[in-house]
Amino acid sequence: MLAPPGSLHPPKRLERPTVDVLLSCGQLDFEFKALIDTGAPRNVFPRGCADALAIDLSGTHKTVRQHELLGNRWDAVPVLVHLTLPPFHDLTWEAEVDFLLDDWPMPFGLLGQEGFLDRWVVIFNRYKDYFIVQEVDAFEQRLPVDPWEAFQQDWDGWNRPG
């Protein structure tokens, strides 16, 4: 049986969970989209972001890291920068960002484990399409129990033979 014309909804495009990030180095700022990526070990941004911040990625004195992304290996140079999540200017921190040396085919950078997820509690509500990003202490103060203590108590019972 065919559905009547106009009764089918076009497929909804699933947006990636991205946020705006303001990168700052020296006197320069540059805003770019970033995917919050629990699988990324570090913060990674394209070379164009480094260029916009006038960061020199050349020279033999620079450390080069390799990342495996999108099925390829990418060389990147780590640089300490300030990051902010506008419009929430209290969500700011300093961390290393690995700036890729080659062109990056994605329209966003990556906020990963080291330099982002290790500093903030991040909750993603896909149903309503929003993030909550807050300091660990503020998050834990809202909880009725200490999650680490509860985990430790429960873990003992999980490890006992049945």
The residues near 107 (Cβ < 8 Å, ≥ 6 apart) are 33
Residue 4 pLDDT greater than 50, yes or no: no
Question: Tens digits of per-residue pLDDT, 112-144?
Answer: 999 999 999 999 888 888 888 988 888 888 877
CA 30 to chain centroid: 16
| Residues 132, 25, 75: CA angle, nearest 5 degrees | 85
> Does residue 38 belong to any structural domain of this protein?
yes
Look at residue 128 and tell me if it is in a domain. Answer: no
Q: Residue 112 maps to which CATH number?
A: 2.40.70.10
Q: Which of 53-67, 69-83, 87-101, 103-117 is predicted with the least confidence, judged by mean pLDDT? A: 53-67
Task: For residue 5, give Cα distances in angstroms to 1, 80, 87, 110.
Answer: 12, 56, 43, 41
Asked whether the bond before 87 is cis by omega within 30 degrees of 0, the reply is: yes
Is 125 part of a structural domain of the chain? no
| Cα distances (angstroms) measured from residue 96 to each of 30, 48, 61, 157 | 16, 16, 16, 40
Q: Give the residue numbers spanning the domain of 35.
A: 18-119
* CB of 115 closer than 8 Å to CB of 98: no
145 part of a folded domain: no
**Residues 19-53 pLDDT 10s:** 999 999 999 999 999 999 999 999 999 999 999 99
Residue 151 lies in a domain: no
> What is the maximum alpha-carbon separation in the chain?
68
Any idea what the Cα angle at residue 45 is, between residues 61 and 88, rounded to 5°? 120
- Average model confidence (pLDDT) across the chain: 84
Decide if 44 is inside a domain. Answer: yes
Number of domains in the chain: 1
